[in-house]
Homo-oligomer: A and B are copies of this chain.
Amino acid sequence: MKRSLPLSRVYRLLEPGPVVLVTTAHKDKVNIMTMSWQTMMEFEPPLVGCVISGRNYSFEALTTTRECVLNIPSVELAKQVVGVGNCSGSKVDKFKKFKLTAKPASLVLPPLIDECFANFECKVADTRMVNKYNFFVLQVVKAWIDPVIKNPRTLHHQGKGVFMVGGDTIKLSSRMA
């Protein structure tokens, strides 16, 4: 059972650079894509910048509906992450094919992927860089986290199907956010 995560904590999950699964909903179809090209842009309200190429089936859904969910998988979902990245939503129902559970979001139409340990409901906040770079600015409007999973081993894409799996954490004295 997920709990609501304060929006001020969203950056702590996205800043380390995990692969995310992006869900969209458009014309009665839901879809999922794998993404690694994203960055935090503001703490609160959390803004996330991301590149979603026009070659992706999700591009039209995102530009039209202006909503998506960023779902963070851990290493247990590695095969599904790659599988989702290797096929197109134009041909495949990815929730069905990869046995992932679509759970209703609270503020947007695209569903949460229940198997992911964190889910961020997003609305598109700025599209001025879409034409040139396919770069969207998203605002996270609602965040969810699984409180049971303590140190999720996230996936960090190094290209060509190679992923670094998140290791241990260290704590240093810091005045940084």
Contact = CB atoms under 8 A, between A and B. Distances in A.
Interface of A: 9, 11-13, 15-18, 34, 36-42, 47, 49-51, 75, 78-79, 82, 85-86, 126, 128-129, 132-133, 135, 137, 153-154, 156-177
Please report whether the interface of chain A is mostly helix, strand, loop or mixed according to DSSP: mixed
A12 to B, nearest CB: 4
A18 B51 CA distance: 18
Contact of A49 (B78, B135, B174): B135
Copy total for this chain: 2
Nearest to A87: B175
Contacts of A11: 159
Contact of A82 (B50, B75, B82, B174): B174
16 contacts: A12-B162, A13-B158, A15-B156, A15-B158, A16-B17, A39-B49, A78-B170, A85-B176, A129-B129, A154-B164, A160-B176, A163-B169, A163-B171, A165-B168, A165-B169, A166-B167
